Structure 1
Amino acid sequence: MNELIFQEAYLRNFTESVFKKIGCPDEHAVLAADVLLKSDLRGIDSHGVARLSGYVRLWEKKRINATPDIKIVHETPTTATVDGDAGLGLVVAPFAMKVALEKAEKFGSGWVAVRNSNHFGIAGYHALMAVEKDMIGFAMTNASPLVAPTFTTERLLGTNPMCYGFPAGNYPPVIVDMATSAAANGKLEIAQRKNKPVPDGWVQTSDGQLTTDAHALKSGGSLLPLGSDRDHGSHKGFGLGATVDILSAVLSGANYGPWVPPFVSFIDPLPDLPGAGIGHFFGAMRVDGFRPVDEFKQHMDKWIERFKSAKPISADQPVVIPGEPELEAEVYRRENGIPLVEPVVKDLNELAGKLGVSLLKQQI
């Protein structure tokens, strides 16, 4: 499938214009665009500007409030619960992470649960906010139910990603950013656009049979937990996904399990739900609450060097430290542009035409 290449600044301006057109304040539009562009720069194409039309459809369904009153509704010195007022998760999540960082700066650690939010982009964006302040960052979110727990065909959990960020010294930070399902739904969407099968162990049919059909979810199938099946540890993926769901939603007052609203809902109105919106959970810990920062970074560097020097199975494939591929993509794409597949460009230009935004034109 052909790809078109766009400069970061050009896509950033386009994305900001779309958010402003749906009524977002300038500050929110700039922040939301930054979260999406960070995803595209880091090579996580499923969570970048390709999601723009989804956010607009949610706004059209009145599921997203373009001018939210985001506020703390419960608080202790080291913890808080934030209500996002149905705002863009791309805006609500950084607000909540800043609260966690402020608490960590004063008391050593900060923990924030969020309710009444929406899709927040990549978890890595928010964990990196802590890393930039020499803190260890945690970010996670629940999501609409697409994943069937071990031994069932019923969708009860989202892909429920979690991210852990650790600062280093001479090396880039270690960023562990992953879905708790065998694959993120966005990877299925990419395979669908390219009309390609997905690997074994990602999805199952409506009757529980493994399949490589990227469209299986449209016919009642489901994503599988990390581990794919019981013999390969899917109960562990189920446990991780459950942990994210409980911390993000049961703790905050958001919707959980099968009641999490879909990213783009064609159910109008939504049925009665036990909570408000979707939920997130954030944490920040000061490294110097445990040992001097310089010492920690020195040993993080040593940790990275030892793992990088591990004897490889194949000489042309060394150990990859978590976060390395994303950083390499970011360096390359800042210099050479961001690729978008033709169906995404077509979708964005249809959106631009509807909102009265200048159409995307290939630059490179």
Structure 2
Amino acid sequence: MPAGSALFSENNLRSFTTSIFLQIGCSEAHASLAADVLLRADLRGIDSHGVARLAGYVRLWEKGRINATPDITIVHETPTTATVDGDSGLGLVIAPFAMNLAIEKASVYGSGWVAVRNSNHFGIAGYHALMAAERQMIGMAMTNASPLVAPTFTTERLLGTNPICYAFPAGNHPPVVVDMATSAAANGKLEIAQRKNDPLPGGWVQTAGGESSTDAHALKSGGSLLPLGSDREHGSHKGFGLGATVDILSAVLSGANYGPWVPPFVSFIDPLPDLPGKGIGHFLGAMRVDGFRPVAEFHHHIDQWIDRFKAAKPIDPLQPLIIPGEPELQAAHDRKKNGIPLVDAVVSDLNTLAEKFNIQKLEG
């Protein structure tokens, strides 16, 4: 366990997180679901998107940007597609609603696709994509985010980290889960480095003038994240293209805000300026495997795919090939057994919330 951190049980953190969501006015069902999304991130080792984000959701609620009791509605629909308006609710609640709708449509018609507007940060994309994989469907989830990424050849922040996830069910193996930001690194990794006072690897951020930097605080002085690939010579135009695709599917298609107009996760601009759309946007999809071939045949071949890739000759015998989703699954096994590590700065933030709402503090 890293220095300056403590272990907490899943049940302890789940109870605490649910209590905070109840305190801001969420229903028991919404509070439980929102806590589940955050805990899944912590269990899977994605610490940047777990309970460390809880204080941010509370600040959004305090600023009136999160509606704790949203009326989530379907505003446009065909047999296989829909657009959902989240009524400024928690993305942690709205995105599962939308994915369940996509799964329902896929159950009947073979595939379902749902665009979302008027939402907020939805946690890890993997949570939502795995909802489909758990139903033996192929799941896809993506979201746009506040602008921190400068497209190739620019210094202006125009895109978010805009994560995308695909989840593929398997037979004898766990699902293959490709869950990634379309930037060189997720903003949450910068926040982790800031809390630990660590430098960043090269190629993650640039200064306001476009020079490479390893300063975890570079964004606070006008810098920006770089697209996946870091620079043109290493394929950043591909990361820019992926980020643009997420932005268009999530927001231009749904009526949410896009590009530089996506509201920040926690706004220090009060009030927000006039925006072209509603909230942030998501895009979720589910496809039935048997819409393409018998499920048993697919399971056989994806298991064979996994086995063959796992047998790839490694450069270093101590570092074998890793199937997408394996590290997160291993982290979940370990953390369910041994506890979830939280750095002291996160514990302090959470206990500040406990004081604010007069609930029991966390104790490692």
TM-score range, shorter chain: over 0.9
Offset, 1:143: 0.1
Q: Give the Cα separation in 1 of the matches to 2:42 and 2:343.
A: 12
- Among 106, 109, 131, the alignment partner of 1:104 is 106
Q: 3-state SS of the aligned residue for 1:82?
A: strand
Offset, 1:351: 1.0
Partner of 2:79: 77
Residue identity in the other structure for 1:215 = H
User: How does 1:36-51 map onto structure 2 within 5 Å?
Assistant: 36-51=38-53
Q: Is 1:276 aligned to residue 273 of structure 2?
A: no
Partner of 1:164: 166
Partner of 1:151: 153
Offset, 1:303: 0.2
Offset, 1:283: 0.4
- Per-residue CA distance 1:99-156 (angstroms, 9 max, x = gap): 0000000000000000000000000000000000000000000000000000000000
Q: 3-state SS of the aligned residue for 1:140?
A: strand
User: How does 1:204-215 map onto structure 2 within 5 Å?
Assistant: 204-215=206-217
User: How does 1:246-325 map onto structure 2 within 5 Å?
Assistant: 246-325=248-327
Q: Is 1:220 aligned to residue 222 of structure 2?
A: yes
- Among 18, 22, 26, the alignment partner of 2:28 is 26
Offset, 1:2: 1.2
Q: Give the Cα separation in 1 of the matches to 2:96 and 2:275.
A: 25
- Per-residue CA distance 1:284-333 (angstroms, 9 max, x = gap): 00000000111101100000001000000000000000000000000110
- Among 171, 176, 179, the alignment partner of 2:178 is 176
Q: 3-state SS of the aligned residue for 1:284?
A: strand
- Among 347, 351, 359, the alignment partner of 1:349 is 351
Q: 3-state SS of the aligned residue for 1:138?
A: strand
Identity level (%): 78
Runs of 4+ in 1 over 2 A off after TM superposition: none
Q: 3-state SS of the aligned residue for 1:298?
A: helix
Q: Give the Cα separation in 1 of the matches to 2:348 and 2:271.
A: 29
Q: Give the Cα separation in 2 of the matches to 1:71 and 1:97.
A: 14
Structure 1's unaligned 5+ residue stretches are none
Residue identity in the other structure for 1:337 = G
Residue identity in the other structure for 1:348 = L
Q: Give the Cα separation in 1 of the matches to 2:4 and 2:62.
A: 31
TM-score (norm 2): 0.99
Residue identity in the other structure for 1:183 = A
- Per-residue CA distance 1:14-73 (angstroms, 9 max, x = gap): 000000000000000000000000000000000000000000000000000000000100
Residue identity in the other structure for 2:59 = R
Residue identity in the other structure for 2:241 = G
User: How does 1:110-129 map onto structure 2 within 5 Å?
Assistant: 110-129=112-131
Q: Which region of structure 1 is more displaced relative to structure 2, 258-267 or 1-10?
A: 1-10
Q: Give the Cα separation in 2 of the matches to 1:5 and 1:315.
A: 32
Residue identity in the other structure for 1:257 = G
RMSD across aligned positions (CA): 0.4
Partner of 1:10: 12
Q: Give the Cα separation in 1 of the matches to 2:270 and 2:358.
A: 26
Q: Give the Cα separation in 2 of the matches to 1:352 and 1:116.
A: 29
TM-score (norm 1): 0.99
Q: Give the Cα separation in 1 of the matches to 2:111 and 2:292.
A: 11
Structure 2's unaligned 5+ residue stretches are none
Partner of 2:133: 131
Q: 3-state SS of the aligned residue for 1:126?
A: helix
Q: Give the Cα separation in 2 of the matches to 1:170 and 1:77.
A: 33
Partner of 2:196: 194
User: How does 1:227-246 map onto structure 2 within 5 Å?
Assistant: 227-246=229-248
Offset, 1:266: 1.1
Offset, 1:357: 1.6
Offset, 1:87: 0.2
Residue identity in the other structure for 1:145 = P
- Per-residue CA distance 1:231-264 (angstroms, 9 max, x = gap): 0000000000000000000000000000000000
Residue identity in the other structure for 1:111 = W
Q: Give the Cα separation in 1 of the matches to 2:12 and 2:104.
A: 33
Residue identity in the other structure for 2:355 = G
Residue identity in the other structure for 1:70 = I
Offset, 1:356: 1.3
Residue identity in the other structure for 2:38 = L
Residue identity in the other structure for 2:341 = P
Offset, 1:170: 0.7
